[in-house]
Amino acid sequence: MKITDSPLPSSIAIVAETGVIPQATAHYRKRLSDLRGLFLDPAALEQRIRDENDPVCYENYAFNNGKTEGDIFFGTTIIYPGKVGLEYHLTRGHYHRKRDHAETYQALSGRGLVLFEREDGTTCTAELVPGKVTYIPPFWAHRSVNTGKVPLVFLWTCPVEAGHDYEALRGRGMRQVVVERDGCPCIENRP
Amino acid sequence: MKITDSPLPSSIAIVAETGVIPQATAHYRKRLSDLRGLFLDPAALEQRIRDENDPVCYENYAFNNGKTEGDIFFGTTIIYPGKVGLEYHLTRGHYHRKRDHAETYQALSGRGLVLFEREDGTTCTAELVPGKVTYIPPFWAHRSVNTGKVPLVFLWTCPVEAGHDYEALRGRGMRQVVVERDGCPCIENRP
């Protein structure tokens, strides 16, 4: 990139309660039907798709059209509250295409958990709550889960070249799941 | 980095009102005497150093000992309110050592401005207020200014390899200054 090709700096508004970024350069929604194969209870999933007209599970706003290595990519993910069977709403989860690239998450409103795992089989979790920055080190796949009653809105920030690899987790999900037991979120190994 | 060398993910608390990161891996303070040569009014600076026993102008907490390209480095800067002559408290300002590396700033409390300039002479400013993410694109030097009455606390996030080049601005500061006129912050060209 030449100096004169660099875009102007700007302050990008983010609505903490909804996650909306009015100046977003990209936006997508994932409905429950887009997440087949990820939940523990496929029958409960199909029932909610039918009964609730395939509700949105989460959506994503991103900022920055830059593509140069070293540039920064950020945006919001909004996971709506709800469960499929006992399991809380979640994102697909991904490794970075560049496995050694890191990221941060910051809850802006709501609360949840991040499930982590590495290709050597290690697992780990961290809470996603306002007032904390969740550091996602190199080599850790990450999936977010809304364990609350209101939308979980979080900001993510990573090097633009990190990329997403959803394939490595496709069809099997992650090794741990977050389910409701006696009204509380509980992290368990996938049966 | 090998997979097994990657640190555990964690959620790092940040106190929005003070900027303190209890788990910080680095911390420094800059007193007014550390900032000689940067303000418009050297006599006013020396007077405050004498009268106020060399007060702290700003401090910085950083998280992450990772050094691998693609890793993420984040932390807080706290600029205490005050003026040297007419000029508001500021940070030294820097280019990234890797000029094409970007960054984000997010005000957690207080309010201020970021002054930007490029090596081709272009200048620009952006506001630093809670609810907005300030995007610092590649090639832009950046300096923060507290224009409020309370500490300005902001979170910064950048690729760990971006680096800091303070030398390119040393002795001349930046092309624009923020001074108080009729009780309000005013952006002016350096005389």
pLDDT in tens, B112-137: 999 999 999 999 999 999 999 999 99
Question: Total structural domains in chain A?
Answer: 1
Contact A72 B9 (CB under 8 A): no
Phi, psi torsion values for A30, nearest 5 degrees: -120, 120
Residue in B with minimal Cα distance to A102: B71
Contact B11 A64 (CB under 8 A): no
Q: Which one of A13, A134, A157 has the shortest CB-CB distance to B104? A: A157
Global ipTM: 0.94
C-alpha Rg value of chain A to the nearest Å: 17
Contact B128 A11 (CB under 8 A): yes
Per mean pLDDT, which range of A11-25, A152-166, A168-182, B50-64 is the poorest?
A168-182
Interface test with A, best of B135, B144, B176 (most A CBs within 10 A): B135
List, for residues B51-101, the tens digit of each pLDDT value.
999 999 999 999 988 889 999 999 999 999 999 999 999 999 999 999 999
Q: Which one of A63, A131, A161 has the shortest CB-CB distance to B135? A: A63
Query: Whole-model pTM?
Result: 0.96
How far is it, in rounded angstroms, from Cα B137 to Cα A7? Answer: 6
Distance of CA B44 to the CA centre of its chain: 22
Contact B6 A158 (CB under 8 A): no
Residue in B with minimal Cα distance to A112: B11
% of chain B beyond a pLDDT of 70: 99
List, for residues A41-82, the tens digit of each pLDDT value.
999 999 999 999 999 999 999 998 888 999 999 999 999 999
List, for residues A128-150, the tens digit of each pLDDT value.
999 999 999 999 999 999 999 99
Distance of CA A101 to the CA centre of its chain: 16
Is B141 in contact with B168 (CB distance < 8 Å)?
yes
How far is it, in rounded angstroms, from Cα B78 to Cα A140? Answer: 31
pLDDT band at B171 (very low <50, low <70, confident <90, very high): low
SS (H, E, C) A131-157: CEEEEECCCCEEEEEECCCCCEEEEEE
pLDDT score, position B5: 84
Residue ranges making up the domain that contains A112 = 3-189
- A38-75 core/surface letters (b: 16 or more CB in 10 A; e: else): bbbeeebbeebbeeeeeeebbbbbbbbebeebbbbbbb
Contact B119 A3 (CB under 8 A): yes
The pLDDT mean for chain B works out to 95
How far is it, in rounded angstroms, from Cα B64 to Cα B113? Answer: 26
Q: Which one of B11, B66, B132 has the shortest CB-CB distance to A12? A: B132
Contact A138 B16 (CB under 8 A): no
Q: Is the alpha carbon torsion for B126, A107, A110, B153 positive or negative?
A: negative
Give the CATH number, domain containing residue A76.
Answer: 2.60.120.10
Type of residue at B11: S
Contact B132 A14 (CB under 8 A): yes
How far is it, in rounded angstroms, from Cα B92 to Cα B173? Answer: 8
Tell me the β-bridge partners of A43.
none
* Contact residues, chain A, for B108 at CB < 8 Å: none
Is A140 in contact with B9 (CB distance < 8 Å)?
yes
Type of residue at A26: A
List, for residues A12-25, the tens digit of each pLDDT value.
999 999 999 999 99
pLDDT score, position B37: 92
Whether the per-residue pLDDT at B1 is higher than 80: the answer is no
pLDDT band at A171 (very low <50, low <70, confident <90, very high): low
